A and B are shown apart, each in its own frame.
Chain A
């Protein structure tokens, strides 16, 4: 039966879709019932808590098999990827830097490519991963980051702006207030670094640039 799902903090479409029996989230995303959501949010990876996702009729698949025998069914689930561009102080790419990713009790060694990018497919349910970079190229020698997957809000929202600025090293804080001192400081520094008019307000031009620089 068709229905709506209200997005919670930390959720993203791939996980929501699987919850309702859709191994391929694109079936949900491209459904006509989500036309307005697609217009509002440019990417299914970045939804806002409170967004309404239309869940179409369940995609029951019919398979015929003989009884009294053991059968193997395979479901292809779209797995999200963690794609991180790692940068050192003042935005210098951390090329070929090494570290490890701890997710769901597993320890996965990771190596950044020649552009400083780490890519790692994740279980669709993974919400939390710890990234430990232990490399002389990283200030502090070893640094630990707590990654919250699916927690990045849309750039139109203040928390989404804060997260992107924080990820880019601007220390915007987490007050959720566009007038907060640290937030204005971070916005102005970002605007200054990327050649935008410096006014401390995260308007449409700044938002667009934030998405381009942050990558999402």
Chain B
């Protein structure tokens, strides 16, 4: 049984990067030396999308439990790898406001991971602009907590009661794939080690500086004005996110040398770190641009460098639906199963039609499904980046355009498949030049869209 529908990039094998090759001079003259500085090396990226937050708010919805489970899986795959959080906003509104709102989202996520209910109490008791936690948020938490344990409905108007509610709600948000709550250690599990009270090296708000998507000038014009506010916000949703970057195990930074300002501070400290052509990067051009394909959309040079690392591609939680049938093809309903992936075992029973739903981190290459005495090994194929030849081959194959080898080599069979894809998509309304070129950016955009990832 092969599960080849995994749909996001998995880490490539560790390459011999330029950092491993050190060209030095011999020293025969006085005062001469060579410096060998260990670089910051990201190993994986986790993202919490805008949809997991209340509108314009730092309040996290219960559905985010899906994403927090992936953090547990990532930690299993990268033992000892410390985390740093970077929250991002879109470009509507004031830069200063966006910086602080994103900072509050970073604080909110950090607080969940470390169970810092005091930080949530600060977010609750000190509203900022539209980010006001109120009765609606308390209600979501009470209802969520009550479903798990029907006894905790509390009067959350009192601080002490809120602390219990926050803590219980965090325990529901932050669970591994088997459903066991987990926490991160503020000193051992974060890049800055909690050495700075304001979270330098641990959690940051980047504001609007680093959009993953920059709309075209024509799209911007079409979405201008107050009446299009919602549509514009919807288009920009991918830009509003919290990214968690996992670094090489054992990495720890000196927080006094860390370039980012604190999550609660304004954007002044970010300016120094911007690309010299930061304005042009964020400006709308003739076509829409993405960080994944064009690569030149981030204004912060420091963060851009971290995000450009080949091993820093985003990991996701993929859903795998499997139907259990007997010899005659009848569904096996109510059959118990255990599914082990990334060190956690989730168990359950198949539904009346024999279906079971499994969650697989995109970093996993295999999982073990246990059905009674039977053990089934599931193999998962990683999806290479859209900007690589192999990434194009896999997507073309999954869409039925290509039947050749997934070998990462540019060849006539793949080029012919690209040409057919370009003609087909052209017929559906987005005109593409049928040039068969794997490096053609409009084609990469269209292929990524058609494939869904």
Partner of B253, one of A82, A90, A173: A90
Q: Considering the complex, which residues of chain A in the window 74-120 have a beta carbon less than 8 Å from any beta carbon of chain B? A: 78, 80-92, 94, 117
Interface size on A, as a range, is 35 or more
Interface-facing stretch out of B29-37, B212-220, B315-323, B422-430: B29-37
List residues of chain A with CB within 8 A of the CB of B36.
Answer: 84-87, 131, 145, 167
Knowing A43-B29, A45-B29, A174-B18, the reply to whether A136 touches B250 (Cβ < 8 A) is yes
Partner of A146, one of B22, B29, B34: B22
Knowing A91-B257, A145-B22, A188-B301, the reply to whether A84 touches B35 (Cβ < 8 A) is yes
Report yes or no: B22 in contact with A44, Cβ–Cβ below 8 A: no
Knowing A88-B38, A92-B257, A152-B34, the reply to whether A139 touches B247 (Cβ < 8 A) is yes
Alpha-carbon distance A167/B21, docked complex (angstroms): 9
Whether a CB of chain B sits under 8 angstroms from the CB of A8 is: no
Contact count A vs B, C-beta below 8 Å? 181
Whether a CB of chain A sits under 8 angstroms from the CB of B28 is: yes
Alpha-carbon distance A171/B253, docked complex (angstroms): 18
Whether a CB of chain A sits under 8 angstroms from the CB of B252 is: yes
Whether a CB of chain B sits under 8 angstroms from the CB of A194 is: no
Whether a CB of chain A sits under 8 angstroms from the CB of B304 is: yes
Whether a CB of chain B sits under 8 angstroms from the CB of A52 is: no
List residues of chain B with CB within 8 A of the CB of A149.
Answer: 24-26
List residues of chain B with CB within 8 A of the CB of A152.
Answer: 23-25, 34
Whether a CB of chain B sits under 8 angstroms from the CB of A53 is: no
Alpha-carbon distance A214/B40, docked complex (angstroms): 18
Interface-facing stretch out of B2-10, B171-179, B268-276, B347-355: B268-276
Report yes or no: A139 in contact with B250, Cβ–Cβ below 8 A: yes
**Chain B: which residue is nearest A88 at the CB level?**
B38
Report yes or no: B34 in contact with A214, Cβ–Cβ below 8 A: yes
A113-147 interface code vs B (CB 8 A; 1 in, 0 out): 00001000010000000010000101111011111
Report yes or no: A91 in contact with B37, Cβ–Cβ below 8 A: yes
List residues of chain A with CB within 8 A of the CB of B32.
Answer: 43, 45, 83, 215-216
**Chain B: which residue is nearest A144 at the CB level?**
B20
Whether a CB of chain A sits under 8 angstroms from the CB of B449 is: no
Whether a CB of chain A sits under 8 angstroms from the CB of B27 is: yes
Q: How far is the CB of A124 from chain B (nearest CB, A)?
A: 8
B155-167 interface code vs A (CB 8 A; 1 in, 0 out): 0000000000000
List residues of chain A with CB within 8 A of the CB of B20.
Answer: 144-146
User: A43, A89, A200, A214 — which one has the most chain B CB atoms within 10 A of its CB?
Assistant: A89
Alpha-carbon distance A80/B37, docked complex (angstroms): 22
Report yes or no: A82 in contact with B21, Cβ–Cβ below 8 A: no
Report yes or no: B22 in contact with A139, Cβ–Cβ below 8 A: no
Knowing A185-B305, A188-B301, the reply to whether A89 touches B253 (Cβ < 8 A) is yes
Partner of B19, one of A169, A185, A213, A216: A169
A26-46 interface code vs B (CB 8 A; 1 in, 0 out): 000000000000000001111
Report yes or no: A216 in contact with B253, Cβ–Cβ below 8 A: no
Whether a CB of chain B sits under 8 angstroms from the CB of A54 is: no
Report yes or no: A138 in contact with B250, Cβ–Cβ below 8 A: yes
Report yes or no: A148 in contact with B22, Cβ–Cβ below 8 A: yes
Q: Show 18 residue pairs from A and B whose CB-CB distance is below 8 angstroms, ordered by the A residue.
A: A81-B27, A86-B36, A89-B251, A90-B253, A91-B37, A122-B26, A139-B248, A140-B251, A145-B21, A150-B26, A167-B37, A169-B19, A171-B39, A174-B18, A181-B296, A182-B308, A188-B275, A199-B276
Give the top 5 A-B pairs by smallest Cβ distance, nearest first.
A80-B26, A215-B33, A169-B39, A169-B37, A151-B23
